[in-house]
Amino acid sequence: MELHLHRLDYTQVGVTSQKTMRLLPALGKKSTQKVAIADHDGVVTCFGMKKGEAVPVFKTLPGAKVARMDLGGAEGTPQEKIFVCSGSQVRGFTKKGKQFLTFEANLTESINALHVSGADLFVCASYIYNHYCDCKDQDYFLSGDKINDITCVSSEKLPHLIPVLACQDRVLRVLQGSELSYDIEVPGPPSVLELFNKDGGEEVLYGTTDGKIGLVQIGDCDAATKWEIGNEKRKGGILCIDTYDIIGDGVNDILVGRDDGTVEVYGFDSSREPTLRFEHVLTESVTSIQGGCVGKESYDEVLTATYTGWVTGLTSEPQRAEAVQGDEVRLSKETQSKIEALSAELEQLQVKVLQGREQYQQSSQSSTAVSAVPVFSINDKFTLCQDDASYSLTLEVPTAIDNLLLQSDVPIDLLDVDKNSAVVSFSECDSQQPNGNFLLATYRCQANTTRLELKVRSIEGQYGTLQAYITPRLQPKTCQVRQYQIKPLSLHQRTHSIDPDRPMNQLSLVGQFSFAEIHSWVVFCLPEVPEKTPAGESVTFYFHNTFLGTQIEATYCKGEGTFKSDNISTISILRDVLSKEATKKKINLNISYDINDDSVSHTLRMIHPKLEYQLLLAKKVQLIDALKELQVHEGNADFLIPEYRSILDESANLLEEYKKQPAHLDRLYGMITDLLIDKFKFKGKNVRTKVSSMLQILDHYDLNSLLDFFSEP
C-alpha cells in the first residue's frame, strides 16, 4: 500500500533536545490532539490547531534547558500530565498548564533521560539510574557506560515493571530493582528506546547512533531479538521513534526520525517483517516524532520537531488545487487567507529588520556602546563510521553557517560527501614547524546552510586534535571553536567479542600505577571507552579495526595490564603511547612482549583483498583516457575486448569511486611498511634500508612474493 503524506509547517519554538515533544491524548475518537513541546530556553509550550493556525493553550516562563519530556498520569486514566526535566529537577504540568510538581532529584549531573509510569518516576543522568515512587527513593544503579535512554516494560506475564537502559557500550541493560538482571547486545550504540505497544507489552524498539533499528522481546530472565534493520544506505543516526497506525491497516507502523533530517515510516508485511513505506527529508535533524491527529479531524499525520524548533506535520489530508486553463491554479478561500496573513507578517518582519539594522548602525558608531557577542548553540557529532573506516563530523547551527575552518595538527584525509554542497579551499601548511598544521581547509557555505556534514580519515599511530571554527551569518561577526581528539588507535571500535583462534601478539605492563591511571591511558589510546573508571578491580575491553578487521583485547587492573592483538603494528603503537603517558606521570613501567611471527602473515592476508582491489581500480582508471581516445578515433568500441568495453561502460562509476578514496593505496602501502618496520623493531633490527626493495615488490604485487620477503631473516 502506497502512503502519500503532505508537509505542513505549524509553528517554531526555540532549539530543542531529543524527545521533547509529545501529543496529548485525544478527547474523542477522531478529534484533533494538542501538542506539548519544550525547548532549550526552558519554555514548555502547548498548542492546538484551529483553522490552520496554531492556537496556544499555555506557555511557561523561560528557565533552565529542558532535556526530555514524558507524559504520565494515574493508572487507568488518560496519560495527559506533562513531565519535563531540567538539570536535576523534574517538573509536572496539567494539560491546562498548571504546575503541580517540582521534584529535586539532588543528582550531581543533569538528567538526560526520563520515564513516567503511574506513581513511578525513572530518571537517568550519564552513568546513574534512579527510581522514585511517589517522589521517594526506591532503586539506584551505576552503569558501566553512559545511559542514553530509558523505558519500562510491563505486561501480565511479567511480575513487575522492568526498566530497560540504552547504554553507549552497545548494550541494553535490563534491571530488577537495583541489580542488573541481564544485558542484551545490540549492533550499535543505542540512542533511543520506545515501547512497540504503548498500552504495555514486552516488545521494545531501539534505534542506534549509526542508523540501525531493532525489536527485542524482554523476558523476566532473558530477551529475544525479533528483527533488525541495517543501514546500508548510510543514513543518519536514529534520534526518535514512535509507533502509530498511519497506514490504516490495523497494525502499528514504526515512525523514525534521523539526525540527517530523514523521516521514515515502516509498515509490516504479511510475514511481520518491517518494510519502508514512506520517506521524507527535512533540512535539519529530527529530534522528536509522534503519530496522531493534529491539523484536521479524521486525518492522521506524522508530527515532527526539528533541532531549531520547527514543528512540522506530514498529513494524510489531500492538498487540493483545482487547475483551470493555462497554468493558473484556483486556490481555496482558506489557502488565500493564509497567504494574505503570511504576506502581512512578512512585511512586518521586513520593517522590524530594517529598524533593527538602523539601530545597530547608530549604536555601533556610538563611543559609549558595548558590542555583545551573539551566543549560538551548536549541535555537533564526531563518530566513526564502521562501513568505510572514516570519521563523520556533523555540525548544525540554528542560523545559516557562513564558513567553517578545519585545522588539524595530525595528518588526515578529507573525503567527499554527496550531501555537502559547500566550496572547500585548502591553505598551505608547514607541518615541520613546532605546533605546525597538517591541514587547514575552509568551507564556504551556500545561503541558508544550517547543517554541514564532513568526512575525515585518520592514520593510526598519528594522534592529536582536529579543530572546527564555525562562523554563522550573524552580526557582529562571531566564531565558536569545537575540538575533537584523534586518538592513537582511532580506527578501532568497541565490540562484544573477538576471534580467539587468531595468532595474537601480547604486550604486558607491570608498574606502580593505580586502576584509574591505566584506565585514563586506555581512554587516551582508544575510542568508545567510558571516561569513568569501571567498578570492580579489573576490566576487559574488546575492539576491532574498522579498516583492516584486526582486533584488540585489553585487560587491566591496578599495577598490571595485558594487551593482545593480531596486528603487530597495533602492539607497537600501544607500547609507544603507554610508555610515553607513564613517563609523563614519572611512573616506571616494566614492559614485556610476546611476538607471534604467524600474526604478520595473517595481517598481510587481511590486507591482501583490499590491496588487490585498489591496485585493479587504479589500473582501470589509468586506462580510461586511452580507451576513450581510441573510441573517438575508431568511432565505436566494438573492436575492444569485453574487459576493456566494460571499463568504458563503467568509467563514470570507477572515477567516482577512485575520487571518493584519495590516498587509499598509499594508506595500504604505509600499513605494510609499518608492519615490516615493527616486526623487526621488536627483534632489535633496523630494516629501513629494506623498504625500497619491498616497494618494488608492491609495484608488481603478488601475495606469495610479499610473504616470502617478510619471512626473510
Number of neighbours of residue 245 by Cβ within 10 angstroms: 13
What pLDDT does 442 receive?
Answer: 94
Tell which of 530, 561, 595 closes a domain: 595
C-alpha cell at 196: 512497540
- Looking at the fold, whether 565 and 656 belong to one and the same domain comes out as no
CB of 514 within 8 A of CB of 500?
Answer: no
Pair 570, 423 in one domain? no
User: What is the 8-class DSSP label of residue 700?
Assistant: T
Instruction: Give the per-residue pLDDT at 660.
Output: 67
175 and 26: one domain?
yes
Looking at the structure of the chain, the number of domains it has is 4
Domain boundary among 237, 259, 283: 237
CA distance 340 to 342: 5
Domain presence at residue 53:
yes
Q: How far from 368 is each of 2, 364, 416, CA to CA, in Å?
A: 64, 9, 48
CB of 393 closer than 8 Å to CB of 405? no
Grid cell of 172 as nine digits: 541494553
| Amino acid sitting at position 160 | H
Say if residue 568 is in the same domain as residue 622: no
Let me know how long the chain is: 713
End-of-domain residue from the set 486, 509, 537: 486
Asked if residue 686 lies in contact with residue 676, where contact means CB atoms within 8 angstroms, the answer is no
Q: What is the 3-state secondary structure (H, E, C) of 623-667?
A: HHHHHHHHHHHHCCCCCCCHHHHHHHHCHHHHHHHHHHCCCHHHH
Residue 55 is assigned to a structural domain of this protein? yes
| Calculated CA dihedral for residues 24, 26, 32, 35, nearest 10 degrees | 0
Query: Rounded to 10 degrees, what is the CA torsion of 147, 150, 176, 100?
Result: 120
Clarify whether residues 32 and 164 are in a common domain.
yes
Peptide bond between residue 476 and the one before it cis (omega within 30 degrees of 0): yes
On whether residue 90 sits in a domain, the answer given is: yes
Contacts of 636 (CB under 8 A, 6+ apart): none
pLDDT of residue 173: 94
Q: State the cell numbers at 625.
A: 583516457
**Which residues touch 290 (CB under 8 Å, ≥6 apart)?**
21, 22, 23, 242, 244, 255, 302, 303, 304
Does 693 reside within a domain?
Answer: yes
Write down the pLDDT at residue 519: 94
Would residue 693 be called left, alpha or beta, if left means φ above 0 and alpha means ψ between -120 and 50 degrees?
Answer: alpha
Q: Give the rounded distance of the alpha carbon of 499 from its chain centre.
A: 27
The predicted structure's pLDDT at residue 422: 86
Cell digits for 591?
Answer: 614492559
User: Smallest Cα–Cα separation from 440: which of 458, 428, 457, 455?
Assistant: 428
Give which of 128, 19, 9 is closest to 68, Cα–Cα: 19
- The domain of 664 spans 598-711
Q: What is the CATH number of the domain that holds 521?
A: 3.30.160.110
d(CA 159, CA 140): 19
Whether residues 94 and 229 share a domain: the answer is yes
* Residue 206 resides in a domain: yes
One domain for residues 400 and 440:
yes
To the nearest 10°, the Cα dihedral for 348, 350, 351, 355?
140
Is the domain of 89 the same as that of 119? Answer: yes
- C-alpha to C-alpha distance for 208 and 214, rounded to whole angstroms: 9
- In angstroms, how far apart are the furthest CA atoms of the chain? 88
Q: What is the pLDDT of residue 194?
A: 94
Please state, in angstroms and as integers, the Cα–Cα distance from residue 629 to each residue in 68, 623, 708, following that order: 62, 10, 41
Q: What is the pLDDT of residue 190?
A: 95
Contact, 238 vs 262, CB < 8 A? no
Is the Cβ–Cβ distance between 263 and 7 less than 8 Å? Answer: no
Cβ-Cβ contacts under 8 Å for 127 (sequence gap 6 or more): 142, 143, 144, 145, 146, 147, 530, 532
The answer to the question of residue 133 being in a domain is yes
Identify the H or E element spanning 363. Answer: helix 333-365
> What is the C-alpha separation between 689 and 681, in angstroms, rounded?
13
Per-residue cell: 700: 608488481
Verify that 658 and 515 share a domain, yes or no: no
Alpha-carbon distance 3 to 29, whole Å?
A: 22
Together in a domain, 155 and 222: yes
| Whether residues 582 and 620 fall in one domain | no
Q: Please choose, from the candidates 548, 458, 561, 560, the residue with its C-alpha nearest in 3D space to the C-alpha of residue 502.
A: 548
Strand partners of residue 482: 468
Phi–psi pair at 363, nearest 5 degrees: -70, -35
Rounded distance, CA 687 to CA 700, Å? 21
User: What is the full DSSP assignment across 374-416?
Assistant: PP---EEEEEEETTTTEEEEEEE-SS-EEEEEEEESS-EEEE-
Answer whether 114's CB lies under 8 Å from 129's CB. no
For residue 324, what pLDDT is reported? Answer: 47
Same-domain check for residues 161 and 105: yes
Q: How many CB atoms lie within 10 A of CB 360?
A: 14
In a domain, 264, yes or no: no
In order, the DSSP letters of 198-246 are TT-BSEEEEEETTS-EEEEEE-SS-EEEEEEE--TT--PPEEEEEEE--
Euclidean distance between CA atoms 150 and 165, whole angstroms: 5
- CATH number of 173's domain: 2.130.10.10
685 occurs within a structural domain: yes
Which residue numbers in the chain have pLDDT < 50? 322-325
